Structure 1
């Protein structure tokens, strides 16, 4: 008797180089849906889909640093989310002890199905496996949905904030830094 395999379970794993275009496309969709129309047009107008695909391909196949990881959330054999984990990038970070979630996105139609939670747990597990004891995450000051999601998972503000944006200052975003202890995982 031959059995037909069932649907693949939703999962998170390291990204494959062949998924660079899917990650770039997802990032563009998330930016388009989460940023104001003006900010999205400015940010996305400055980089083509092809350039983003090349950048993600490089990040996946030849990471810029040791312990730089690109993770993908998979559902029905397609990328529905991605995240990057890296050594802490801030001047006050201890690169040996402080890791950082640098990018994190879940496709809007795929939200509220557990992909974000799986991706968040995989980020913590990956940072822990890479030897980090603490994790940091810069989030938009006004992104109450993400801050609430992270707060429920034990991430808390550490009092740091920053402003980022385009070189011409047409786009300015204020972020706050959250942190968590990875030893509790």
Structure 2
């Protein structure tokens, strides 16, 4: 509020001194955000693998273990094109994506990128964060000189498949079956989707 003479009231002055915060944004992740990334991944995996993995396995997922791996990856990414991006709602980290040159047997890591992970907190879905992340991923992949990008999705996850296909991705015919314990007890079938990031401007 302001006085009748147009002079800002004290509370307005303090608000003016605060840096504006974008409602939503996507940028490269910082090592200090590893804990938040681990939390998002565990929450997203518990939803994505519900009914596919035993409940006790999902319950035992440890955000701190995931965080340690992400912290190490962010501090020492190795390949220059290994990137982790985060989606923010204000100051809150609500999603992330990890990009890497593809290590699939039929891929060329010089030209083929892989979305190794793309996850949004379950309570932050349907707010556009996933789409913003995916757009930023494709832009980054294009800038890094890749000509193709792929992602593996669970064959039963119709929602995730629709998310990618509505963004222009399509199955490329590749499929695989993950044997999670190495004894055949838990198998998860996946299909691969791909898209062309387009030429650089």
Q: TM-score, structure 1 length as denominator?
A: 0.91
2:56 to 41, 53, 74: 41
- What is the distance in 2 between the residues matched to 1:40 and 1:66? 37
Distance 1:173 1:120, change over 3 A: same
Q: Please name the residue that 2:166 is paired with.
A: 152
Q: 2:190 aligns with which of 169, 175, 179?
A: 175
1:83 aligns with 2:97: yes
Q: Deviations over 1:103-158 (max 9, x none)?
A: 01011111111101100001101111111011111111011111111111110001
Q: Measure the CA separation in 2 of the matches of 1:165 and 1:41.
A: 18
Q: How many residues align?
A: 184
Task: From 50, 65, 73, give the equivalent of 2:64.
Answer: 50
Report the CA distance shift for 1:28/1:177 in structure 2 as closer, same or farther (over 3 A): same
Q: Secondary structure at the match of 1:95?
A: coil
Corresponding position of 2:26: 12
Asked whether the 8 Å contact 1:140–1:174 carries over to 2, the reply is: yes
Contact 1:28 1:44 in 2 (8 A): no
Change (3 A) 1:181 1:7: same
Q: CA 1:134 to 1:36, structure 2 compared with 1: closer, same or farther past 3 Å?
A: same
Contact 1:88/1:94 (CA < 8 Å) preserved in 2?
yes
Rounded Cα–Cα distance in structure 1 between residues aligned with 2:92 and 2:173: 37
Look up the match of 2:140: 126
Structure-2 change in CA distance of 1:156 and 1:33 (3 Å): same
| Pair 1:41–1:130, CA change in 2 (3 A) | farther
What's the secondary structure of 1:72's corresponding residue?
strand
Per the alignment, residue 30 of structure 1 pairs with: 44
Residue number in structure 2 paired with 1:101: 115
Q: Which runs of 5+ in 1 are unaligned?
A: none
Between the aligned partners of 2:23 and 2:104, the Cα distance in structure 1 is: 36
Give the root-mean-square deviation of aligned CA atoms: 1.9
